[in-house]
A = this chain, B = another copy of it.
Amino acid sequence: MRAATIRDGSVVVEDHADPEPAKNEVLVRVRAAGLNGADIMQRAGRYPAPPGEPPDIPGLEMAGEVVAVGPGVQRFSEGDRVMAIVGGGGQGELCAVHERAAMPVPENMDWDSAGGFPEVFTTAHDALFTQAELRAGERLLVHGAAGGVGTAAVQLGSALGARVTATVRREEARPEVERLGATVIAPEGFEEHGPFDVILELVGAPNLAGNLRALGMQGRIAVIGIAAGAKGEINLAQLLAKRGRLHASMLRARPLEDKALAQRLVEKHVLPLVESGAVRVPVAETFPLDRVADAYERFTEGGKLGKIVLRMAH
């Protein structure tokens, strides 16, 4: 099979041996695979694939048809439409994944959307609901809301009854993020718009001081993205006075059972919202596999709303 391949700081297309489905795995003929920040970091050599994953094929999510099943598979059959989070290897024509890390693709969802759904929606759902325990009626602030996780978080927060405020740097992106369900504000002076019960941090440490000021009593800050910087000063007296909580996490390095649990929660709580049309995957642009290098460049340029998705031709 052909697959996106990391070679010396670049991403190219190379031939690889076809993966085979091991016990409890399904083999997926990939139709679409979303790009994520981790792919860009892996291209730069800063985010090696976890042990057991293809070391040189990037891609943390994909969607396609099951073309073969390994021994013991119970959840899916050949021909089923599935989408999944993977630890790597999503951006190839074929991808093997444990059946418990995969989800069915709703009938009303196209391949581009399905390929760009699993990573960002699972990340957003896990951060907002499992970690930060966001509840209906609470105020949510999403920093960096125009990206993949941001657009997912705005929709999930809004669909599940939270009142969502979002910071978006680029003015042109603001109307679309508003359509997704947020009150959009500029990043400058965001702390004047609090207090917030939950703050989803997708930008980085530069927002930390403002986040602490804008946090409400018993508020929670969930840190997912730190591209703008990892180190910042924290005032524990502020956190103490508000009885606040700060957590940080990422999906990629988690073991199978954690990823599987997260998928079950998304199946139960988010797929019905996809089926009803309450949430959707904003796709900024699609690229064929042959233009994977362009896709990565487009990802790093910024100024996009939603996902960059690779399409596989079969």
Shortest CB-to-CB span from A161 to chain B, Å, is 23
Residues of B within 8 A of A239 (CB): 223, 246-248
CA distance A246 to B247 in the complex (A): 6
Residues of B within 8 A of A244 (CB): 247-248
Report yes or no: B247 in contact with A245, Cβ–Cβ below 8 A: yes
Can you list, as one digit per residue, whether each of A231-275 has a CB less than 8 Å from chain B (1) or not (0)?
111111111110111111110011000000000000000000000
Shortest CB-to-CB span from A238 to chain B, Å, is 8
Report yes or no: B236 in contact with A233, Cβ–Cβ below 8 A: no
- Residues of A in contact with B, size category: 20 to 34
Residues of B within 8 A of A205 (CB): 234, 236
CA distance A248 to B241 in the complex (A): 8
Residues of B within 8 A of A313 (CB): none
CB of A226 within 8 A of chain B?
yes
Report yes or no: B245 in contact with A235, Cβ–Cβ below 8 A: no
Number of chain copies forming the complex: 2
CB of A104 within 8 A of chain B?
no
Residues of B within 8 A of A208 (CB): 234, 236
Report yes or no: A233 in contact with B235, Cβ–Cβ below 8 A: no
CB of A19 within 8 A of chain B?
no
**Given A245-B245, A249-B243, does the pair A223, B204 have CB atoms closer than 8 Å?**
no
CB of A136 within 8 A of chain B?
no
Report yes or no: B233 in contact with A232, Cβ–Cβ below 8 A: yes
* Closest residue of B by beta carbon distance from A239: B248
CB of A230 within 8 A of chain B?
yes
CA distance A230 to B241 in the complex (A): 11
Report yes or no: A246 in contact with B246, Cβ–Cβ below 8 A: yes
Shortest CB-to-CB span from A239 to chain B, Å, is 4
Report yes or no: A231 in contact with B234, Cβ–Cβ below 8 A: yes
Residues of B within 8 A of A226 (CB): 236-237, 240
Known contacts A231-B235, A232-B234, A243-B248; 17 additional CB pairs below 8 A are A204-B236, A205-B236, A208-B234, A226-B237, A230-B236, A230-B237, A232-B233, A232-B236, A233-B234, A236-B248, A241-B250, A243-B250, A244-B247, A245-B245, A245-B246, A246-B246, A246-B247
Give the interface of A toward B (CB within 8 A). 204-205, 208, 223-224, 226, 230-241, 243-250, 253-254
Q: Which 5 A-B pairs have the closest CB atoms?
A: A230-B237, A239-B248, A240-B248, A243-B249, A245-B247
